[in-house]
């Protein structure tokens, strides 16, 4: 009986302490920790340092720019669908190869098949998603340096802002009206709308620390209008602390425009360069002077090579 009472006493004493350990405070943010992370924290895992790393990270966006620096083979699959996302109205499937010579790159089309009105009669892209995809992953002619081509002016600026919105979520975007500051989830004015957590999970065979920011449930319409990122989940290799994957959901709606986008990105490495290996995208856009556009794409990158 004494042993039983002692066990009960220990359970009642220790449970509150463990509960306190699972809630970590950082710059006004409360981060929930799972049991594995709590144990890691007790033996030296720097939770505050890890969060700061997440907050300041720019390697994810840089990984996409690194595609300008290596050769690779790509499987490209773009589908434009009807509003309900069921019927495909235009598509492209292709295999391409990027070849590096010094600081310059060019692209070979190994094979390509399109359906519907994917291209205009002049051979231009008929859809904004396709144009953005091409701007990111295709090269026309020979291009030198790590930029996307010769386009200049407001169109190039808007494309760059859109790429930052999609591939650098969580950071404010200068020059973008309405939504530019609504993506900065670490801002004190926005963090109150999110539930944050650090957990331990295997991702594509890699043991990871997982940082999650998820929009709180049951937000009223006024609060919901203040945010763009619904969910942001980032996977960090426990050994190297490098990003190995990210999942995220973005959406926003006004009287003028709206969008709803989900993406999943898996990373890989070539020598010291972090690079995307697989990207899946599903999204719908409705912007002024254009018809609503709903599209999915999958991009797979393999056979990375240094300059030839």
Number of domains in the chain: 1
In a domain, 25, yes or no: no
In a domain, 8, yes or no: no
Q: What is the value of pTM for the model shown?
A: 0.84
In a domain, 127, yes or no: yes
In a domain, 137, yes or no: yes
In a domain, 44, yes or no: no
Each residue of 189-238: pLDDT tens digit? 888 999 999 999 999 999 999 999 999 988 998 888 888 889 999 999 99
In a domain, 22, yes or no: no
In a domain, 91, yes or no: yes
Each residue of 256-286: pLDDT tens digit? 778 899 999 999 998 889 999 999 999 998 8
DSSP codes, 137-195: H---S-EESSS--S--HHHHHHHHHHHHHHHSTTS--TT-TTTTTTT-TTSHHHHTTEE
pLDDT, position 154: 55
In a domain, 29, yes or no: no
Domain containing 301: what range? Answer: 55-305
Burial of residue 53 (CB within 10 Å: 0-12, 13-18, 19+) is middle
């Amino acid at each position: 009986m004494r042993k039983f009472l002692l066990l009960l006493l220990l359970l009642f004493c220790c449970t509150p302490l463990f509960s306190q350990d699972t809630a970590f405070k950082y710059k006004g943010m409360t981060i929930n920790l799972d049991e594995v992370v709590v144990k890691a924290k007790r033996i030296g895992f720097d939770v505050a340092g890890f969060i700061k790393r997440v907050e300041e990270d720019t390697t994810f966006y840089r990984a996409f720019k690194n595609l300008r620096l290596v050769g690779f083979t790509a499987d490209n699959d773009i589908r434009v669908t009807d509003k309900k996302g069921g019927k495909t109205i235009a598509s492209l499937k292709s295999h391409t190869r990027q070849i590096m010579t010094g600081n310059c790159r060019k692209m070979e089309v190994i094979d390509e098949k399109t359906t519907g009105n994917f291209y205009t009669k002049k051979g231009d892209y008929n859809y904004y998603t396709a144009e953005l995809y091409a701007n990111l992953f295709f090269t026309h002619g020979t291009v030198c340096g790590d930029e996307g081509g010769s386009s200049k002016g407001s169109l190039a600026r808007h494309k760059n802002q859109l790429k930052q919105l999609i591939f650098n979520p969580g950071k404010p975007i200068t020059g973008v009206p309405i939504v530019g500051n609504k993506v900065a989830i670490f801002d004190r004015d926005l963090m109150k709308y999110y539930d944050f957590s650090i957990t331990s999970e295997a991702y594509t065979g890699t043991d990871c620390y997982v940082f999650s920011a998820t929009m709180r449930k049951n937000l009223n319409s006024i609060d919901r209008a203040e945010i763009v990122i619904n969910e942001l989940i980032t996977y960090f290799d426990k050994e190297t602390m490098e990003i190995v994957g990210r999942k995220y959901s973005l959406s926003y709606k006004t009287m003028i425009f709206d969008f709803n986008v989900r993406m999943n990105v898996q990373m890989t490495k070539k020598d010291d360069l972090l690079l995307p290996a697989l990207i899946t995208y599903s999204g719908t856009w409705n912007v002024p002077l254009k018809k609503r556009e709903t599209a999915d794409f999958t991009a797979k990158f393999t056979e990375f090579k240094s300059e030839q």
